[in-house]
Amino acid sequence: MKLGILGTGFIITDALDAISEVPEIEKKAIFARPNSKAKGEEFAEKYGIEKVYTDYDELLKSDEIDTVYVGLINSVHYEYTKKALLAGKDVILEKPFTTTVEETKELAQIAKEEGRFLFEAITNRHSKVYDKIKEELPKIGRIRLAMGNYSQYSSRYERYKNKDVAPAFDPEAFGGALNDLGIYNLSLTVSLLGVPKDLRYDANIGFNGVDVSGVVTLRYDDFIVTLSVAKDSDSPCYFTVQGEDGYIRIPGKPNEAEQVDMMIGGKYEEYVPQPDKNRMVQEFRDFAAMQAQDDKERMYAELETTVRVMETLIGIRKNMH
């Protein structure tokens, strides 16, 4: 994989740390807006990136790049990804995928028509813990409840309280607690348990109309899911599914998914896989492997899950109170 990295924000450091652990990926270029060129040059020097671009069209013309990683603000995901797919590039797109279901479906269709790979960068669905949960979930019997919490006091919240709004707190940039942190437990829920039949989001709304914290309630035919999320406060995080014959629980932040605890048939077990350098390493390994093996069947299956997650996310947002 010959990769061009788009962006110079907070996520890029984590992404580059992870990519550096995957020898199958070559860091060919980084794109920075003109006013962030110096930051792009710093990344290039630190991580051995071959070239810095400030013109996206020029980056897309390069034969040295076959894939782009879109680590830009949420509101431009669709625009930059569509342009890359139509230019003949594969794309790794950060969560949340787009701002509408229609955009997600259109990008998936373009990828199929153009024969390109299109991956969602969502860490917990590319973890050994996730694979273990899928394997063990049928053993807990009839599901009755699922609960999750991802609460983390944002490093940008003090700025926000002073009316200095970063994109993560800007509704026009598709910011907010649900889109940023809540997507992790929501993605676990939809991918493991399916699409709910009813949904609701009771949110604490900030001065500019953005959700700073809240509780999602999802109703299925036979069970209920509640997911809390916060960027204005902190508490222990988790994701739990309870069945009549046991439970499965991720203790800790769901984006990291470092271990899973299970009580099945009266027997308690902990599964703690050997950790990577950071939470993003495995997803980049998976993307590189799928591309190298031309495994579009798996990619299409993951895209279908992404569409279902986006349908649920947008439905929740439309039922925000």
**DSSP string covering 73-137, please?**
-GGGHHHHHHHHHHTT-EEEEESS--SSHHHHHHHHHHHHHHT--EEEE-GGGGSHHHHHHHHHG
pLDDT at 107: 98
Task: Give mean pLDDT, residues 251-280.
Answer: 96
**What are the pLDDT digits (tens) for 23-38?**
999 999 999 999 999 9
- Residue 304's pLDDT band, with cuts at 50, 70 and 90, is very high
**CA 312 – CA 295 distance, rounded (Å):** 27
- Residue 316's pLDDT band, with cuts at 50, 70 and 90, is very high
pLDDT at 229: 98
Average per-residue pLDDT in the chain? 97
Range of the domain at 151: 125-279
CATH assignment at residue 42: 3.40.50.720
pLDDT at 120: 98
Domain membership flag for residue 241: yes
Considering the domain architecture, whether residues 16 and 137 belong to the same structural domain is answered as: no
Domain membership flag for residue 317: no
Domain membership flag for residue 294: no
**What are the pLDDT digits (tens) for 71-89?**
999 999 999 999 999 999 9
Task: Give mean pLDDT, residues 92-105.
Answer: 97
- Residue 299's pLDDT band, with cuts at 50, 70 and 90, is very high
**What are the pLDDT digits (tens) for 1-17?**
999 999 999 999 999 99
Task: Give mean pLDDT, residues 110-120.
Answer: 98
**What are the pLDDT digits (tens) for 221-248?**
999 999 999 999 999 999 999 999 999 9
Considering the domain architecture, whether residues 179 and 91 belong to the same structural domain is answered as: no
Considering the domain architecture, whether residues 87 and 190 belong to the same structural domain is answered as: no
Q: φ, ψ for residue 167 (rounded to 5)?
A: -55, -30
Domain membership flag for residue 18: yes
Domain membership flag for residue 33: yes
Considering the domain architecture, whether residues 61 and 141 belong to the same structural domain is answered as: no
Domain membership flag for residue 35: yes
Considering the domain architecture, whether residues 87 and 139 belong to the same structural domain is answered as: no
Q: Tell the residue number behind the tokens 């046991």, with chain if given.
A: 246
Considering the domain architecture, whether residues 188 and 200 belong to the same structural domain is answered as: yes
Task: Give mean pLDDT, residues 310-320.
Answer: 97
Residue length of the chain = 321
**CA 225 – CA 319 distance, rounded (Å):** 15
Considering the domain architecture, whether residues 181 and 197 belong to the same structural domain is answered as: yes
**CA 120 – CA 178 distance, rounded (Å):** 17
Total domains, the chain: 2
pLDDT at 242: 98
pLDDT at 62: 98
From 121, 142, 177, the end of a domain falls on: 121
From 94, 121, 148, the end of a domain falls on: 121
Considering the domain architecture, whether residues 104 and 142 belong to the same structural domain is answered as: no
From 263, 279, 295, the end of a domain falls on: 279
Considering the domain architecture, whether residues 101 and 151 belong to the same structural domain is answered as: no
Task: Give mean pLDDT, residues 172-191.
Answer: 98
pLDDT at 13: 97
Query: What percent of the chain has pLDDT above 70?
Result: 100
pLDDT at 79: 98
pLDDT at 77: 98
Considering the domain architecture, whether residues 178 and 243 belong to the same structural domain is answered as: yes
Domain membership flag for residue 289: no
Considering the domain architecture, whether residues 88 and 42 belong to the same structural domain is answered as: yes
- Residue 181's pLDDT band, with cuts at 50, 70 and 90, is very high
Domain membership flag for residue 207: yes
- Residue 161's pLDDT band, with cuts at 50, 70 and 90, is very high
CATH assignment at residue 267: 3.30.360.10
Considering the domain architecture, whether residues 116 and 194 belong to the same structural domain is answered as: no
**What are the pLDDT digits (tens) for 39-62?**
999 999 999 999 999 999 999 999
